[in-house]
């Protein structure tokens, strides 16, 4: 009963609840599919991971060369770029959360959007923030 009252307070429709449920089921299903699929078949990621693992084992046995330092810096730069991009997205989402009314008025002018309450809008933005924080936790 409390759940239904919360839905009425935020003006959440059953379509919104279904959309969130469908999103998480799709996310978890794809994660499961990807982990099972890579165990049976070699993907680009697993092949590159194996090459990097072998390279790092050989790197320990010999002196560091210029090419090795270039490869290490490239790997570090790629990971740093992904993290910094995610942080910029998080900063933008937090700014949108702070300017909910203005963001909602901008979104209302788009032809494919549906008007929602401010509470539901903030809940959706918070869900996006949680997803990107989860992404950063996987990268770091």
Pull the structure tokens for residue 66.
Answer: 């210029």
pLDDT in tens, the chain (140 residues): 566 666 667 777 788 889 889 999 999 998 888 778 777 777 766 777 787 788 778 777 777 676 766 777 776 666 677 778 888 999 999 999 889 889 888 888 888 877 788 888 888 899 999 988 988 877 66
What b/e sequence results for 58-71 when a residue is b if at least 16 CB atoms lie within 10 Å of its CB, and e otherwise?
eeeeeeeeeeeeee
pLDDT in the model for residue 79: 66
Q: What is the pTM of this model?
A: 0.67
Domain residue ranges of the chain, discontinuous segments joined by +:
71-139
Match 């003006």 to its residue by tokens.
Answer: 11
């Amino acid at each position: 009963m409390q759940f239904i009252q919360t839905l009425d307070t935020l003006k959440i429709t059953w379509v919104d609840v279904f959309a969130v449920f469908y999103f998480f089921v799709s996310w978890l299903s794809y994660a499961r599919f990807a982990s099972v699929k890579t165990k049976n078949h070699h993907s680009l990621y697993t092949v590159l991971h194996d090459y990097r693992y072998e390279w790092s084992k050989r790197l320990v046995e010999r002196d560091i060369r210029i090419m090795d330092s270039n490869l290490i810096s490239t790997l570090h730069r790629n990971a740093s770029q992904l993290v910094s991009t995610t942080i910029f997205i998080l900063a933008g989402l937090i700014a949108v959360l702070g300017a909910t009314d203005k963001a909602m008025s901008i979104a209302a002018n788009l032809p494919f959007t549906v008007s929602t309450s401010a509470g539901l809008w903030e809940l959706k933005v918070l869900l996006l923030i949680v997803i990107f924080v989860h992404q950063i936790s996987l990268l770091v």
